[in-house]
A = this chain, B = another copy of it.
């Protein structure tokens, strides 16, 4: 079942399948590891290390920051989770198959909104054709000016 960039398929694996994948790679399923995965699983969107460590989403126990960092790194290496940046500052974490949305971020007022994926398709194709790179626009937001700030910028400028 292909999860990758192309497919519209939304595989949304259950928690057990993630846990199984962890075990399949030879990693141990500890309470801390399970709590991290559960938090990512129940979260509405990408979450911070802080949120994961404090057991947001009702994880039974709390997990030490250092262990959260370690686990996220390990799980990211396995391709099970990803981190994304929604603006400046520390990243947020999510299950790998959920990191599919591209965002616009206004550099002046900080406003943020998701982008209709089809808008990026032409450039993604052009980049692939010209450079061979498979571009994902999901990791960092696309920075620019929102309509209002763009307007103000054009008026306000002295000359």
Among residues of B, the one whose C-beta sits closest to the C-beta of A123 is B123
Q: Is A13 positioned at the interface, with any CB of B under 8 Å from its CB? A: no
Q: Mark A40-75, 1 if CB is under 8 A from B, else 0.
A: 000000000000000000000000000000000000
Q: Is the CB of A135 within 8 A of B142?
A: yes
Q: Is A26 positioned at the interface, with any CB of B under 8 Å from its CB? A: no
Q: Which of A127, A130, A134, A145: most chain B CB closer than 10 A?
A: A134
- Interface hits, A111-159 → B, CB 8 Å: 113, 115-116, 119-124, 126-127, 130-147, 150, 153-154, 157-159
Count of interface residues, chain A, beta-carbon cutoff 8 Å: 42
Q: Is A6 positioned at the interface, with any CB of B under 8 Å from its CB? A: yes
Q: Is A97 positioned at the interface, with any CB of B under 8 Å from its CB? A: no
Q: Is the CB of B154 within 8 A of A143?
A: no
Q: Is A104 positioned at the interface, with any CB of B under 8 Å from its CB? A: yes
Least distance between A13 CB and chain B CB atoms (Å):
14
Among residues of B, the one whose C-beta sits closest to the C-beta of A136 is B144
Q: Mark A72-85, 1 if CB is under 8 A from B, else 0.
A: 00000000000001
Q: Is the CB of B7 within 8 A of A153?
A: yes
| Residues on B with beta carbons closer than 8 Å to the beta carbon of A141 | 140
Q: Is the CB of A131 within 8 A of B115?
A: yes
Report, nearest first, the 5 A-B pairs whose CB atoms are least far apart.
A132-B147, A140-B140, A139-B143, A123-B123, A122-B122
Which residues of A approach B to under 8 Å, CB–CB?
6-8, 85, 104, 106-107, 113, 115-116, 119-124, 126-127, 130-147, 150, 153-154, 157-159
